[in-house]
Amino acid sequence: MYTVPKLDDYSPDALDRAVAELLRSLEDESAALHDESAYKAFRDRWLARKNGVLTQVNDTWLKAAPGPAKRDVGQRVNALKARVEATIERAHEKLHASSADAKFAEERLDITLPGLHRPIGVRHPILRAMDEMVAVFKAMGYSIGEGPEVETDYYNFESLNFPPNHPARDTQDTLFIAGQDAKPLRERLLLRTHTSPVQIRTMEQQPPPVRIVIPGKVHRNDPLDATHSPVFHQIEGLAVDTNITFCDLKGTLDHAMKAFFGSSVKTRFYPSFFPFTEPSADMQVSCIFCGGKGCRKCKFSGWIELLGCGMVDPNVFEFVKENGYDSSKISGFAFGMGVERIAILKYEVEEIQLFYEGDVRFLEQFA
Ligand SMILES: [Zn+2]
231 — phi, psi (to 5°)?
-125, 125
Residue 262 Cα to ligand 1 middle (Å)? 15
Render pLDDT for 52-99 as a digit per residue (tens, 0 to 9). Answer: 888 988 888 888 888 888 888 888 889 989 999 999 898 888 888 877
Residue 333 Cα to ligand 1 middle (Å)? 29
Residue 296 Cα to ligand 1 middle (Å)? 6
H or E stretch at 144: strand 143-144
Residue 349 Cα to ligand 1 middle (Å)? 14
Task: Evaluate whether 159 touches 266 at the Cβ level (below 8 Å).
Answer: no
Residue 344 Cα to ligand 1 middle (Å)? 14
Residue 304 Cα to ligand 1 middle (Å)? 8
Task: Evaluate whether 46 touches 53 at the Cβ level (below 8 Å).
Answer: yes
Q: What pLDDT is stored for residue 168 in this prediction?
A: 66
CA 23-26-30 angle, 5° bins: 145
Residue 277 Cα to ligand 1 middle (Å)? 29
Residue 286 Cα to ligand 1 middle (Å)? 8
Residue 347 Cα to ligand 1 middle (Å)? 15
State the Cα–Cα distance between residues 16 and 232, nearest whole angstrom.
96
Residue 295 Cα to ligand 1 middle (Å)? 4
Residue 283 Cα to ligand 1 middle (Å)? 16
Task: Evaluate whether 366 touches 127 at the Cβ level (below 8 Å).
Answer: no
Render pLDDT for 170-184 as a digit per residue (tens, 0 to 9). Answer: 766 889 999 988 999
State the Cα–Cα distance between residues 172 and 17, nearest whole angstrom.
107
Residue 193 Cα to ligand 1 middle (Å)? 30
- pLDDT tens per residue, the chain (367 residues)? 577 888 888 888 888 888 888 889 888 888 888 888 888 999 999 988 888 888 988 888 888 888 888 888 888 889 989 999 999 898 888 888 877 787 888 888 888 888 788 877 888 999 999 999 999 999 999 999 999 999 999 999 988 888 777 776 776 688 999 998 899 988 999 999 999 999 999 999 999 999 999 999 999 988 888 778 899 999 999 999 999 999 999 999 999 999 999 999 999 999 999 888 999 999 999 998 898 899 988 899 999 999 999 999 999 999 999 999 999 999 999 999 999 999 999 998 888 899 998 888 898 888 8
State the Cα–Cα distance between residues 121 and 124, nearest whole angstrom.
9
Residue 229 Cα to ligand 1 middle (Å)? 24
